[in-house]
Structure formats: C-alpha cells, structure tokens
Chains A and B, each alone.
Chain A
C-alpha cells in the first residue's frame, strides 16, 4: 500500500495521524490515552520514513530548507514525548504534543514555497557540522515541548486562580508537575543548544568566513535568552506565570528566527529544485 510513496506523501500521512491523535484527545478529553499514544506513535513512524527518504536523497540530515527544519523540529518534539512522555502520566500532554506536531508539519506542507528548492550537500560530508545542525534543531523541538507545557501551566494557573477547576481543566496535570517538567525541558534544551553552538564554534574558528554575522547575531542571543531564563528560574527570580510566559514567547522568537537563519547560510549552498510528488 505504501510502496512508491514520495517523502512528502509519507509526511502528509504522518501529519494526518498527528492531527487524528490530537482530535481524538480533544473529543474524548484525554480518556483514550492508549489510542492517542498509538496514533501519535504511528504518525511518528511515518514521519521517520519520510525524513529518512529525504535524508537518503540528500546524503545527510534533512535540514536543507524551512520545510525540512519545521518537519525536523516537530519530529524532535515527538521523539522527546514518545521517549520520556509516559513518565509525565498525562495524556493531555500527549495529544497537545501531537497537536504541536500536526501544526508544524501541516504548516510546512501547506506552503509549497518552503519546499520548492533545497540546499544540497549542506554539510559538505562533515558529520560534525551535521551533528551541530541536528542538535540545534533538536533543541528547538525541546523548546517547542517546553512552550507547550508552559501553555498548560498557564491554563492550570488560570483555572486555580479563577477557581474554575471543572470540565477541560480537570485533565490538566498539577501545577507543580508542569513547573518541574518545564525546568527539566529548559535545562535539556539549553544544554543541547549549547552543545550545538560549541560544535558550530569549532567549525567557525577554522574559517570565520563560513558563518555570517547575521546567523551568529540570531542564534547566539536565542541561546543566551534561554540560558538567562534558566538562571533566573533556578535563582527563584523568574517564577510561575512569568516563567511560563517567558518560555512561550522565547519559543515564538526562536521559531521566527529559523527563517532568517536558514536564509543566511554562507557561502550560499548549491540549491536544487524539488520536483512535485
């Protein structure tokens, strides 16, 4: 049935399963935990196949255009949820992650321009540069999940302060659990992005002309902002609602920064046109 499908078709199917997982979660108010997890897991496997086909074609990690970056970010967030999510014991977090995955994958699929051409041989066969890029995008996936848990925190906080705890609010995890998950995700994301920046810095030190100033001016401040948020949180200076809002806003900034980062590659890699599936 799946033989001969193009990578984009696999990714469309994956987006469909993520969406189905999210809609099932919403309609059943998280009661069908196993089905939510299974649908998201199946979508994840399909997305893995789609990204694998892309990567094989390109001979490296598929991060050659905005479409692939968004796909990889969604895949990273799903990886994290499917690997460690069960410890959260929250089907709500599961279907919200599936919702995030669906939003990112569908958005990337819906704009053909984002995938009309791709930077070929992006990493020049250098596995360290590939690891640098993969770690950076994986950290964005972690920050995506952090934004999601922060949103759930804000909803839980609102429900407790406004004394509305029934209905949909009753499926939210506890405020302390969400806070703990948030701190762990932020720590992991900062560490991953730091690792990516260190690898990038080694590469950059060999030849400073390979990285544009605009890329440095965008990516380094993103890490600094997240690291500052973590420091303030651990020192008890950025708490509860303010911490959650900071994480949500920083992710929006990080997400917006992907487009200029992608456009600022230097020297301009060879671009190849993608034939429609």
Chain B
C-alpha cells in the first residue's frame, strides 16, 4: 500500500480455533497499553481495537503497508505470540473490503451465533474507547458511524435476528408465545442440573420473577434456590403443588418420569383456563408423554427445542446474503467520501492530533 488506507487486521473464530483465540485475547489493560505503544507508530494515523471472545481486530488508517506490519508486530510481541503463526490465521483486509467487514461484524453477520445483538454493543464500546483515547479521526469516525447505521438497517430489514438459536432462549420464546409476558409467570425448576439452571436464568433475564426449585437433594435445591433468588420446594411435593406453577422446567437425572399425566390432569382441574407449559430437558425424559394431550397443556422436550433452535439458525443463515447485499450497497455509497477524506489530507491532520494526544 502506498497511499493512506483504511485497514482491518486481526483473527476471528472463522480461522482461529478457541485455543488460539485464548492466547490472542486482549484484556482492557493490554488493549490500552498496546494503544499507547502504537500512538507514536510511524505511518499509523487512526486506530481502534475490538476484542471479544470470538475476535480480536484492529481497525485503522495507515500510510503504508509497513504501518500495518508495525501493528501486527506490536500485538504479537505483546501477546508473546509468534508472528508467523499469527499470519496463518490472520484476517487482513484493506479499502472497501475492510469497511464491508466492519459493517458485517456490527450487523452480527460475521458472528459465530448469527444475528446476535451483543456484538453491536461491543463494536460501539470499541469505538468509544478509541475515541476517548483520541485515536480516531475523520475516517474511523465516519466508517464506524456508518457501520452502526448500516447494522441497524440490516437488523430491521432482514430476519437475521429472528427466532432464538439457543435451547434456553427458545424455551423462553415458547413461554412468551403461551403467556405473553413473564413477570406474572410462576416457574418451577425440577432438578438442579446445569441446563435447567441456564434455562431458568434465561427466564430471569426476560422478566420472570417468581421461581421455585425442587430437587431430590434438598441441599443442592437450597443452593440453587439461593443462587437464583428462588424458593425451595420439597421434591415429594412437586406433583401435589403443580397447579401453583405456569412453567415447569425439568432436568433431573431420574430414570423414571417425575411428572405423571395424572398429576398434570389434577393440576389442570384446579386451573383449567390457565395454560401449563412443561420444558423437559432431561434424558430420559421427566414428563410423561400423555401430558401433551391435555387441554391447555404444552410439553416440549430437548429434541423439540434443539430442532427449533436449528431451524432458526438455518433461517438466519439464509438471511446472511441478503444482509451482505444491503451492506455492499452502503459501503459503495460511503467509499467515495472515505477516499476523499484520505486524499485531501484530512486523515493526515487527524494523525497529527493522534500523535499530540497519546493515551
């Protein structure tokens, strides 16, 4: 590269396996130290870094290829990572391709969990941190701002965020399809396993407040109830008090069923007009199959939830190309302005400011 250019350099989940990403991971402190070190790097005019569990990426404006090489060298040295090994897994793009990549990252199109929302906030945080360090200039400012707008556009105009792709969130969505809202929904967790706990935490994160835990091991039930701010229910009372709950999450290791059709039938006689939703995450299953035939009773097992999650994932994947197409149009519209900024020396002025105000 001979002219100043916009670039992205890094490693992502596409090429770097988890073990490698662990070695490359940047803590906030390491990120700040690296930014300080690169503040005076020759030819480097603007720089922002994005570090998540799935990627570590540097976005910047460099006068030439040597400046980008300096970023790589400083990063690898800081992580104690072999530069040659990094090159085998690295992502290195310049020009419109780099902008397209940033747009796709912000929109969740490049995420391991397609369409996830978290990445949008992470990109915003990365940009804010770079801005606070005085490391952004006209090019990064414009590209990042446009990336946020484009990401919102893609999320609104495609189904990239439609449906949940994790079993726990699928279960929560199903409960919402039944009850509408979760703040008045009473949830019983039968069994104190990890998957049950994860599912209940997903319910809590979406507004559920009334929780009870029932487990054969009273001690473990108390432990989990404390962790979830829930009450404990004696295991032997689980069926007798079924009518008090709207959602029952089962995840015991019991070889036999722990919720019988007869007990569900008895519960529905007490609350005939309010639905009862069983989420059976156990293997073998905890809830007797015949329960699903009862009026106003819904039962989903692990396979059902996994199947829906997979269908949603496939549906999201089908939207990726449509999202990319929308982003390509946005990058094409943006790029002449970026080229003008790079050419008219605005980027150079920002570089001077960058050197005068190191982190």
A residues contacting B by CB (< 8 A) are: 156, 159-161, 163, 165-166, 170, 172-177, 179, 233, 236, 239-242
B residues contacting A by CB (< 8 A) are: 162-163, 173-174, 176-180, 272-275, 292, 295-296, 298, 300, 304, 307-308, 311-312, 315
Contact A239 B296, beta carbon cutoff 8 Å: yes
Contact B273 A179, beta carbon cutoff 8 Å: yes
Q: Do A175 and B312 contact each other (CB < 8 Å), given the known contacts A239-B296, A241-B295?
A: no
Contact A166 B315, beta carbon cutoff 8 Å: yes
Residues from chain A with a CB closer than 8 A to the CB of B180 are 173-174, 176-177
Q: How far is the CA of A173 from the CA of B178 in the complex (A)?
A: 9
Q: Do A170 and B163 contact each other (CB < 8 Å), given the known contacts A163-B300, A165-B177, A175-B177?
A: yes
Residue of B nearest to A156 (CB): B177
Interchain residue pairs with CB less than 8 A apart (13): A156-B177, A160-B178, A166-B163, A166-B311, A170-B162, A174-B177, A174-B179, A175-B177, A176-B178, A236-B272, A236-B273, A239-B272, A242-B295
Within 8 Å by CB of B308, from A156, A163, A179, lies A163
Q: How far is the CA of A240 from the CA of B268 in the complex (A)?
A: 12
Q: How far is the CA of A239 from the CA of B274 in the complex (A)?
A: 10
5 extra interface residue pairs, beta carbon distance < 8 Å, beyond A159-B177, A160-B174, A239-B273? A156-B177, A165-B177, A170-B162, A176-B180, A233-B273
Q: Do A163 and B295 contact each other (CB < 8 Å), given the known contacts A174-B178, A175-B178, A236-B273?
A: no
Q: How far is the CA of A268 from the CA of B359 in the complex (A)?
A: 93
Lowest 10 A-B CB distances belong to which pairs? Answer: A174-B180, A236-B272, A177-B180, A240-B296, A176-B179, A240-B295, A175-B178, A160-B298, A163-B304, A176-B180
**Interface residue SS majority, chain B:** helix
Q: How far is the CA of A89 from the CA of B180 in the complex (A)?
A: 11
Contact B163 A175, beta carbon cutoff 8 Å: no
Contact A160 B177, beta carbon cutoff 8 Å: yes
Q: How far is the CA of A233 from the CA of B162 in the complex (A)?
A: 35
Q: Do A165 and B174 contact each other (CB < 8 Å), given the known contacts A160-B298, A240-B295, A241-B295?
A: yes
Contact A175 B308, beta carbon cutoff 8 Å: no
Q: How far apart are B182's CB and chain A's nearest CB, in angstroms?
A: 11
Residues from chain B with a CB closer than 8 A to the CB of A161 are 292, 298
Q: How far is the CA of A236 from the CA of B273 in the complex (A)?
A: 6
Residues from chain A with a CB closer than 8 A to the CB of B177 are 156, 159-160, 165, 172, 174-175
Residues from chain A with a CB closer than 8 A to the CB of B174 are 160, 165
Q: How far is the CA of A176 from the CA of B273 in the complex (A)?
A: 9
Q: How far is the CA of A34 from the CA of B179 in the complex (A)?
A: 25
Contact A174 B298, beta carbon cutoff 8 Å: no
Q: How far apart are B270's CB and chain A's nearest CB, in angstroms?
A: 10
Residues from chain A with a CB closer than 8 A to the CB of B275 are 175-176
Residues from chain A with a CB closer than 8 A to the CB of B178 are 160, 174-176
Q: Do A165 and B308 contact each other (CB < 8 Å), given the known contacts A176-B178, A176-B179?
A: yes
